[in-house]
Amino acid sequence: MSQKEIAESLTLLEKNWDIDPVLKDFELGKISDVADYPVKVKNVMFHIPFLLKEKKYVLWKCYWPDCHNCCDRQGRLPLTSDDLITIGEGMKYQKTSDFIKNETLTITWSEAGSTGQSTTMTTINLKRKKDETPEDDGTHISCRFLDEEGGCSIHPSRPGVCYLYPFSTWLESEKGNARVHASFQFTGDCPGFYLEDTIDPMKEILDEYSDIVYDYNMKSNRTLREGFGSVNF
Ligand code: SF4
Ligand code: SF4
């Protein structure tokens, strides 16, 4: 995501939410004195930003149901092979192949990886609107499953990637073993980030998300092994 897109998202966000000016500068990439504070929680290594000059951690909490901005401005919904089955069944499809044909788009897209390198991925994405086309990929669309109360009408079988937000996750080799890592995605769409002196207020959330992140990573890797997507570095 470009700085211009993040700036546009933050401008929209500020219409309804107070955004700390320091956090805004951080999300816009204007603060360079940032350290990575790694926190291992069960099977996941979380990377929490620490602003050196301000001596503050960037933490997060979710304001749902007062906020559903991530569903209002959804950019892409890549599905795992488990999602294909559970969401297809939830939408009353007898055959997963019919669900894939009618409700998804297979898209190839690129993004910067954890170390800045470009990663090209091909994924099966849930259509965020019924008439979504490949040209809509990556643009902000209010998801068709967002209901009038701000809930997700396909919950609990909503895509794993929706459970994951606002984290992103990747695998790294550590002494010959795969280690799951996670960090925040700063897209400018989430009002839940805040600055704090310690990471204590986020301990319970990290504990809960450790399971979510690990589970998503395993499912995502199984999806690739089963041929329902591909990644090229
Ligand atoms: S945008 Fe952030 S605060 Fe709002 S619902 Fe999504 S995760 Fe929660
Ligand atoms: S599928 Fe549900 S949780 Fe995911 S973006 Fe759509 S409404 Fe939100």
Q: Where are the domains of the chain?
A: 3-232
Would you say residue 191 has pLDDT above 90?
A: yes
Q: Report how far residue 46's alpha carbon sits from residue 183's, in angstroms, rounded to the nearest whole number.
A: 6
**CA 60 to ligand 1 centroid distance, Å:** 9
Give the atom of ligand 2 at the shortest distance from the alpha carbon of 147.
7
Q: Report how far residue 230's alpha carbon sits from residue 107's, in angstroms, rounded to the nearest whole number.
A: 10
194 neighbors 19 (Cβ within 8 angstroms): no
Instruction: Find the ligand nearest to 69 CA.
Output: 1
Mean pLDDT, the chain, integer:
95
**CA 166 to ligand 1 centroid distance, Å:** 8
Among 79, 70, 86, residue whose Cα is nearest residue 105: 79
Instruction: Find the ligand nearest to 127 CA.
Output: 2
Instruction: Find the ligand nearest to 167 CA.
Output: 1
Paired with 105 in beta bridges are: 125
3-state helix, strand, coil in the chain (%, to 5): 30, 30, 40
Question: Residue holding tokens 């933050």?
Answer: 10
Name the residue of 80, 152, 163, 164 whose CB sits within 8 Å of the most ligand 2 atoms, as the mutation to test its pocket: 152
Paired with 35 in beta bridges are: 50
Tens digit of pLDDT for each residue in 54-111?
999 999 999 999 999 999 999 999 999 999 999 999 999 999 999 999 999 999 999 8
154 neighbors 87 (Cβ within 8 angstroms): yes
Handedness of CA 82, 111, 129, 145 (dihedral sign): positive
**CA 191 to ligand 1 centroid distance, Å:** 7
- How far the first Cα of the chain sits from its last, in Å, is 17
Does ligand 1 come within 6 angstroms of the Cβ of 190? Answer: yes
Does ligand 1 come within 6 angstroms of the Cβ of 51? Answer: no
Q: Edge to edge, what strands does the sheet with 118-126 contain?
A: 104-112, 118-126, 229-232
Instruction: Find the ligand nearest to 9 CA.
Output: 1
The whole-number average pLDDT for the span 126-144 is 97
Residue 161 CB contacts under 8 Å (≥ 6 apart), including other chains: 77, 78, 79, 216
Atom 1 (ligand 2) nearest CA: 158
Determine the pLDDT at residue 114.
57
Task: Say what the ipTM of the complex is.
Answer: 0.99
Burial of 31 (0-12, 13-18, 19+ CB in 10 A): middle
Give the atom of ligand 2 at the shortest distance from the alpha carbon of 154.
2
Give the atom of ligand 1 at the shortest distance from the alpha carbon of 192.
3
Tens digit of pLDDT for each residue in 2-27?
889 999 999 999 999 999 999 999 99
